[in-house]
Structure 1
């Protein structure tokens, strides 16, 4: 029996899909995680980061990786005041003055994926409202970081499909990518199903402190039925 799915596309010249983040390295997954997509839909609906995401957290999301792009690493040089030099400063300028100008310099790494394209299928409540918001988003949408704007409209639509694969086969491909998306090849789909299993930390526990829990995801390589729309 057919079920409703919200399907949309995500393309960006640069994307950064959150991974476990330390002080010196911010990695990127090959696909946007659950929390990133919930955040994107929430931004479209006008929900601020400290807002109520309870209506979105229960959505079931599958991602088709049409093009995972190319790895790109950016290097940042940062300076900080040695913790032992100043205790409880009121501001950074005050800390620098009290430390006598002594600063600790370190290099941090930021990982990106260049030239990515994904298809997303969402199941749950409120799909029509989310689709309308994705067409006219309240806040600017980006893929991971604010330095990663989307390169095309999301083309959201609510479709009827018997399977997730059938729904993903109805994703609209931007015309300039149509030559590069080969539907005759198998596509990696990330969701709850899949013989290959992996753990990703993309379940938000505390959005204020950026704490995330691990989630078991399924990875499968399938041929999408039907024809992806262009």
Structure 2
């Protein structure tokens, strides 16, 4: 058993799961679909490639530790529809982002060798990496390393990515819990398909320092 640990941090991130029409939302933490998409891009998998190429990544157990929640921002974009080279129609869209958030993402596998192949791809990506949207490139480093502990233990014990935290959330894939439609089968823009998974959440509280303990 091994767990790949990734640092997902940037000025802006956007992890949409149910966006439609003119409103593009974001979840409070990275989605499995979004991080799988980042890894697929690093490996050179294209949107219209055979769906089976995504299966090895999607089969990995996924979890996230929220080291800094970030601030929710709303931006406005004007989208134009063209016909015969002229603007036919315009739409004002709302797009939501997380500002200055920091996450520890993790994938568990029985094959350390496969996780090492992901590390190699992320360090030498075929396509640019982004955190949910193309306008959100990550800050470096993305790869922290591979832990010999299972997913949940790795998320609980890995070194904090930020300082002065009082509590942190862990959101992880489980056999029961809240149902989310967050497992990508196809990223094709013509026919996107996402299946369901379960997730659970727990809180980690920082131990308070007792200045009298050593006296």
**TM-score scaled to structure 2, two decimals?**
0.80
Q: CA RMSD in A?
A: 2.6
2:198 to 216, 219, 223: 216
Using the alignment, how far apart are the partners of 1:37 and 1:188 within structure 2?
18
Q: Quick one: structure 1 residues 63 and 78, their matched pair in 2 at CA, closer, same or farther if it must change by over 3 Å?
A: same
User: SS of 1:41's equivalent?
Assistant: helix
2:22 to 11, 21, 24: 24
Number of residue pairs matched by the alignment: 199
- Asked whether 1:186 is paired with 2:177, we answer no
Partner of 1:61: 62
**TM-score scaled to structure 1, two decimals?**
0.76
Deviation at 1:218, TM superposition (A): 1.1
Using the alignment, how far apart are the partners of 2:34 and 2:10 within structure 1?
14
Pair member with larger Rg = 1
1:202 to 162, 171, 182: 182
Deviation at 1:131, TM superposition (A): 1.8
Deviation at 1:79, TM superposition (A): 3.6
Q: Which deviations, in whole Å up to 9, do the C-alpha atoms of 1:106-137 show, x marking residues without a partner?
A: 31111111111100121113111112222222
Using the alignment, how far apart are the partners of 2:168 and 2:130 within structure 1?
23
Structure 2 unmatched ranges of 5 or more: 208-215
